[in-house]
Structure 1
Amino acid sequence: MTNEKNQMYFAANPTAKHDEHLVDYHVDKIDLKFTTDAGVFSKMRVDYGSGVLIKAMKEQTFPAGKILDAGTGYGPIGLFAAKFWPERTVEMIDVNERGLELAKRNAALNQISNVKIYPSDVYAQVDKNTKFGLILTNPPIRAGKKVVSAIIGEAIDHLTAGGILLVVIQKKQGEPSARKLMTEVYGNCEILVRDKGYYILKAIKD
């Protein structure tokens, strides 16, 4: 009998039977196509929360340096970041190998080359000497509070001075506790957007 956890999008090697789809998503004049599959988050469409984050992030000004998409899945957030800021490198990380392979395919599909896509358990495989101007995350809520808290709290170690962390999270899935954690760790947390129960939270590293 298949272990159900292996079907989840936060598993390293999902065993769900392949079921690929091609989805379109556009913001302003940028239109990207994404191949999705079973065993990854939101396989039928770019989920609403990711869309709220994509639209909010393009309005941000942040320090020089790379961008990091933590929990990239098949890549919509990171690939839009790469299109918004073509002069910067976007690193895209996840534990889900199927998602990472899709993200690489989607980068090629959309002719995006300013990305580095690789596996990492939270930030374990991220180069400790690399500091990012912007870290983006739609955290994997179903992976549990410990993982979500690590993605949010440990981001500070990977931000440059003045760097920004943007988190999208639903109120009913832990927004109040995420905001509290960000305030404790960063000394600040701003609600940028409220949209149909989704919140965009912003913290800045001093």
Structure 2
Amino acid sequence: MSGHDHYFTAQPASPVELRTLTVELAGRRVEVQTAGGVFSPDHVDLGTQVLLRTAPPPPPAGDLLDLGCGWGPVTIALALASPEARVWAVDVNERALDLVRRNAAALGLDHVTAALPDDVPADVRFTTIRSNPPIRIGKEPLHALLRRWLPRRAPGGDAHLVVGKNLGADSLQRWLADELGPATVVERTASAKGFRVLQVRDA
């Protein structure tokens, strides 16, 4: 499997492919299952760590979205922090979605729904979107992804995206501001370890 195949599709992992990690999410040490064929299968990657550490606590209720969920560190953190919310884990990779379902079930997080993009009902609006987006898929697919999901924020809802500075965080911030227009504010809220965290909110 080549380096970027984890952004697209892989079949659910077989039992022999599963590996167990112990990680800290939302202030708790939890045991999760991962597998090759997804993004950062051996640890919580640095960008996601920056996002989880610097973004504000998620809303306690409503629909929360982890866009490009991988094996689920952001999803699990959202679900642990907001047990009354409905947490959506969205990815195009069936293996990633299967891992999220396994991990949510093992942790008793029955308010998590892992879904392909087209399986999220069109009328769902998100009180927050959290994402370590797949920058390496290329500019046009990335822009299409963000055009699709960022406008689905609920009124007053926000989004927090973590992007590597050397992968174009500053130019993405400018593009988002132009694309979303004057009714939306796009600002850098954190910068750490070579990553920027961008917040998108209503003006």
Same fold (TM over 0.5): yes
CA pair 16-76 structure 1, distance change in 2 beyond 3 A: closer
CA contact (8 A) 2:23 2:31 kept: yes
Structure 2 counterpart of 1:32, from 25, 30, 33: 30
The alpha-carbon deviation at position 14 of structure 1 amounts to 5.7
| Cα distance between partner residues in 2 of 1:106 and 1:72 | 12
Letter in 1 for 2:159: L
Partner of 1:179, secondary structure, is: helix
Alpha-carbon spacing, 1:125–1:157, altered in 2? closer, same or farther (3 Å): farther
Matched residue, 1:111: 108
Q: Which amino acid aligns with 1:155?
A: W
Aligned pairs for 1:6-85 (under 5 A) are 8-13=5-10, 19-27=17-25, 29-57=27-55, 59-60=56-57, 65-85=62-82
Matched, 1:156 2:150: yes
Number of corresponding residues: 199
Contact 2:60–2:84 (CA under 8 A) maintained in structure 1: no
Q: Which residue of 2 aligns with 1:128?
A: 122
Percent of aligned pairs with the same amino acid: 29
CA RMSD of aligned residues (A): 2.4
What is the identity, as a one-letter code, of the residue corresponding to 2:140?
Answer: K
CA distance in 1, matches of 2:123, 2:82: 22
2:12 and 2:103 map into 1 onto residues whose CA distance is 21
2:193 to 165, 186, 196: 196
Deviates further, 104-113 or 63-72 = 63-72
Query: What do residues 77-124 of structure 1 show as CA deviations (whole Å, max 9, x unaligned)?
Result: 01110111111010111000011101111112222111111112xxx4
Distance 1:194 1:170 in 2: 9
Q: CA deviation at 1:28?
A: 6.0
Match of 2:87 among 80, 86, 90: 90
Gaps of 5+ in 2: none
Matched, 1:141 2:135: yes
- In the TM superposition, residue 24 of structure 1 has moved relative to its aligned partner by 1.9
Residue aligned with 2:7, SS: coil
CA drift at 1:8? 1.2
Deviates further, 95-104 or 110-119 = 110-119
Equivalent residues of 1:8, 1:14 under 8 A apart: no
Secondary structure at the counterpart of residue 37 of structure 2: coil
Runs of 4+ residues deviating >6 angstroms:
15-18
Q: Distance in 2 between matches of 1:28 and 1:139?
A: 20
What's the CA shift string for 1:152-198, capped at 9, x where partnerless? 23323211111101100101112012111221215321211111101
Which whole-Å CA distance do the structure 1 matches of 2:8 and 2:147 have between them?
21
Report if aligned partners of 2:88, 2:112 keep a CA contact under 8 Å in 1.
Answer: yes
CA distance in structure 2 between the partners assigned to 1:61 and 1:78 by the alignment:
11
Give the 3 Å change call, closer, same or farther, for CA 10–27 of structure 1 in structure 2.
closer
Q: Runs of 5+ in structure 1 lacking a partner? A: none
**Pair 61,43 (structure 1): closer, same or farther in 2 beyond 3 Å:** closer
